[in-house]
Amino acid sequence: MDQNAFTQVLQRFPLPVTVVTVGRGGAENALTVSWVAPVSFDPPQIMFAADRHHYSVDFLRSTKNFTVNVLRDGQQRLAGHFSRQAMAREDKLDAVATREGDSGASILTDALSYLDCEVAALYESGDHLIVVGDVVDAGILNDGEPLTSAAGLRYTKAGPR
């Protein structure tokens, strides 16, 4: 398999751009994720894939909650803010307006919509962790169209921690 061809195809495959928040009670983190998809209507479930080396994976394993915040078209800077590694003692969520969801994870109040979840299952697949969540709450927060990877945002693989 030509890895470069695989990457080029994925770059032409439009995906939603989201910020996934994890954690509760002041111990939390957030990351930009575009590998998100619905899993089931009954029960309502959604999944996302995160690089197994990402710092937030430890939060997912311990707090077992997350919120998928769907970004609006024009929120590329916000996506970029959460795609970078945090500096020591930096809380990336301090820079944005949030409220606590039913699961305890943060909801970005300026996002288009959200899906608040409790972790139902974790699966290791290749270099990623697939996270399946039971949706405990969902809502539309603002008008607009979703930001997608077709807006020129490009996924790059994280290195080991």
The domain limits of the chain are 16-150
Q: Do 99 and 107 contact (CB within 8 A), yes or no?
A: yes
Q: Do 17 and 149 contact (CB within 8 A), yes or no?
A: yes
**What residue type is 135 in one-letter code?**
V
CATH code, residues 16-150: 2.30.110.10
Structure confidence at residue 85 (pLDDT): 65
- Over the stretch 91-120, which tens digit does the pLDDT of each residue have? 788 889 999 999 999 999 999 999 999 999
Confidence grade of residue 160 (pLDDT, cut at 50, 70, 90): very low
Cα–Cα dist 112/78, whole Å: 12
The H or E element containing residue 3 is helix 3-11
Structure confidence at residue 86 (pLDDT): 58
- Over the stretch 31-90, which tens digit does the pLDDT of each residue have? 999 899 999 999 999 999 998 887 788 888 889 999 999 999 999 999 998 887 655 456
Average pLDDT over residues 19-32: 86
Instruction: Write down the pTM of the prediction.
Output: 0.89
Residue 85 gets which letter from DSSP? P
Confidence grade of residue 159 (pLDDT, cut at 50, 70, 90): very low
